[in-house]
Each structure stands twice: as C-alpha cells, then as structure tokens.
Amino acid sequence: MKFDDLDKKMRIYEQSLDQILLPEIYMVARLDGRGFTRLTKEICKFEAPFDIHFRDLMVHTVEHLMDCGFRVVYGFTESDEISLLFAAGENAFGRKVRKYNSTLAAEASAAFSLALGKAATFDCRMVPLPTLERVQDYFLWRQEDAHRNSLNAHCYWMLRKAGKTVQEATKALEGQSVSFKNELLFSKGINFDQLPSWQKRGVGVWKEQYEKEGQNPVTGKSETAVRSRLKVEYELPLGEAYAKQICSFL
C-alpha cells in the first residue's frame, strides 16, 4: 500500500476521538497538580497549611502558561490548581481539546519541575463556557472554593499541630459550619479575616501596559514606548467587583 493511502487510512483512527470546542464558546483550561499531597507534605515538606515558596512556584507556572504561545488573558491559581481564561476567538490547534489538554499539562509540568528541581506533573481539562456570565460564575466559583479550602486547611492544621491525629482532626471538622470553624480559629488567637488575602482568594495574573523610556535607534532621540508585562495580584477583589474585573479581560 502506498504511504499516502496508508496515512489517510490510519489518521481516521488517530482522530476518531477528537473533540473541538465551538468557535463562539469561551474557553477556560483547568490544571491540577497530580499527587501534590505527597509532593508537598512528604517529598518537599512545605509548610502547612500555606507555604510562600510553593505559592511562588504556582505563580511562576501560571506566568509561563500565559507566555507559551496561547492567547491567555487571565490566569488564576489557588492551592495546587490553575485556571486559564483564553481570549475570545482563540483558535490555536483548531480548538482541538486533546491538543490543549496535552500541551498545557506538559508546559505546566515542565515549568514547575524545572523551578522546583524535582519532577512534578499536572493534568488539564478544557471547560467550555457559553456566555460571559458563565465565565464570571466560573471564576467566582473557584474563588469561593479557595476561601472554603483555606478555612478548612487552617482549622485542620491547627488541630494537627495541637497533637490531633489525621482521623481526629478530620472528624472534629466533619459537618461543622463556617461560623464554628471561624470560632475554632479565633479561640486559638487566629482571626481568619486578617489572614493574607492570597490564602483566601487565590492569586490572579494578567497583562498590563506600561510606559518605558528608550532611545530611538534611528534618530537617537529619547522616546516613550508602550510595553506589556504580566501583573501578579495577591489581593483580588470579591463578588461583583471581581466579576467585573473578569469581564474587563475579554
């Protein structure tokens, strides 16, 4: 059989499960660390419940993903997860889901591993969102998840450091209300509302424009040029203000 005929025949099998995101659908990629509980607690022994070095590794990974060939307008990270909002009309790889999933997971894994100096991997899933309102809802959801996870983590590790076992700490918090958990922390001198914002709301990254003084190589005169750079925000707004900010990126 001629190669061209064989190639055409076999590519049908290769592409049989291809899924494509529709042109008018907003796209978000969600990445999660694989096996990061063991990585952070046993291999690297990061500080619990939050570690600034780990946070910075995640922010570094977001920055890399926003500058690796895709038109990503906003990146968000909390704990070991990353969410990327693509520009409306992004058409890389013909919007094939498998290409986004594999490429972004590989890029994140490589960036994080090189920065850490140890092997670490991420998985990726594409999230199609039909309207701008759903895009806002997605990021409000992830921010609320960050808040709930932060409260639970602070309570859990406070109990663990007080001598409770894994089972005892887990059982003590099971089914308890938000107010109970806040009071539990407060009884130990921890005001949850006064903890660093990035621990409760996550970290946002986007591109901003700025002016830079330079010299025109032709005329030799000083000129002001507009450049873009990534901005990292550790104190994100809440609620409606955050929703409006998400809109501004699209």
236 three-state secondary structure: coil
Q: What percent of the chain has pLDDT over 90?
A: 84
Q: Where are the domains of the chain?
A: 3-201
Instruction: Identify the three-state secondary structure at position 237.
Output: coil
Q: Which of 90, 89, 88 is nearest to 70 (CA)?
A: 90
Q: Considering the domain 3-201 in this protein, what is its CATH number?
A: 3.30.70.3000
Give mean pLDDT, residues 148-167: 96
Each residue of 31-61: pLDDT tens digit? 999 999 999 999 999 999 999 999 999 999 9
**22, 33 Cβ separation under 8 angstroms:** no
Q: Is 159 left (phi over 0), alpha (psi -120 to 50) or beta?
A: alpha
pLDDT of residue 15: 75
Tell me, what's the pLDDT at 108? 98
Q: Per residue in 57-73, pLDDT tens? A: 999 999 999 999 999 99
pLDDT given at position 223: 78
pLDDT value for 50: 97
Q: What is the mean pLDDT of residues 165-179?
A: 96
